[in-house]
Amino acid sequence: MTNPQQTPSQGTGRVAAVTGGAQGIGLAIARDLYRAGYSVAIGDLDSAAASAAAESLGSRAAGFALDVSKSDSFETFLTDAAEQLGAIDILVNNAGVMWVGKFDEEPERALRSQLEVNLMGTIHGVKLAAPVMRARGRGQIINIASAASLLTTPGEATYAATKHGVFGYLKAVREELKSSGVIINVIMPAVVDTKLAVGTSTGVAKILQPEDVAQAVMRVIGRSKFEVTIPGYVAPLNRFINILPRPVREWAFGAMVPNQVEDTDNEARVEYEAQFKKNEN
């Protein structure tokens, strides 16, 4: 769904790049950007899916192979996208993976994948795109993190660590980029109906759709607002709860936040989490 505040003329002649853009949240973001008039570069580990997604959008979109965990792959993606579509005005760091379960049962591959994709992938994107944007005096990097950047999330220990890390990294970088013309935003949704979150519990919040996140992205374009949570009450409620005495704070978080160790449908996640067992020694 196109955001009514973002008309096609606003994106005309501008270029956006979306990581993990072949499906789910990334594809929803790419679709809304395209409808708003942007040329869109879709990067994805599945290059065939990236090309198919781009073709489904139209002639102003192009798909590229991208492994965000590797700096050289990310650099090639940004370079090729700029050569084909033009200088990148907006980078959306969206690619992510998640393993769910007890912290001491997490496979080594899952641990490394989450660190390399969620945290290092975001860092690679910022380090590569921000200096180029700064030299031009303008640009925007929109980062899709998670409400797990703020909340206590049993069963998602490493995933939460990566999202806390993304949040902390972006806070520091944003300070360094003050007055540079480069805008940094971080969007932190609750559970979204995607393959990444299949089988997980939403707690007290209702499950979100990829389009909800895409609309949040469209709303922050050109805006310096740094933190955006979906639903919007998550950030202020988190701040309020954190000033409460510890027993009350722990009770409140326990009532609000799902315990993914106890509440996840593990059978539903078998297919998704098979990626973490490939070539496991």
Catalytic residues: 159
Residue 260 CA, chain-centre distance (Å), reads 20
User: Sheet harboring 61-65: ordered strands across?
Assistant: 61-65, 39-44, 15-19, 90-93, 139-144, 182-189, 227-230
Are the CB atoms for 200 and 258 separated by under 8 Å? Answer: yes
**Kind of pairing between the strands at 182-189 and 39-44:** unpaired
For residue 231, say if its preceding peptide bond is cis, omega within 30 degrees of 0. yes
Alpha carbons 125 and 130: distance in angstroms, whole number:
8
Q: Residue 15 has which token pair? A: 């270029």
4, 25, 119 from 10: Cα distances, Å: 12, 22, 31
Helix (H) or strand (E) holding 129: helix 121-136
Q: Which residues contact 147 (CB under 8 A, 6 or more apart)?
A: 188, 189, 190, 229, 230, 234
Alpha carbons 18 and 33: distance in angstroms, whole number:
10
104 residue type, one letter: D
Overall residue count recorded for the chain in this entry:
281
Q: Residue 205 has which token pair? A: 């919040």
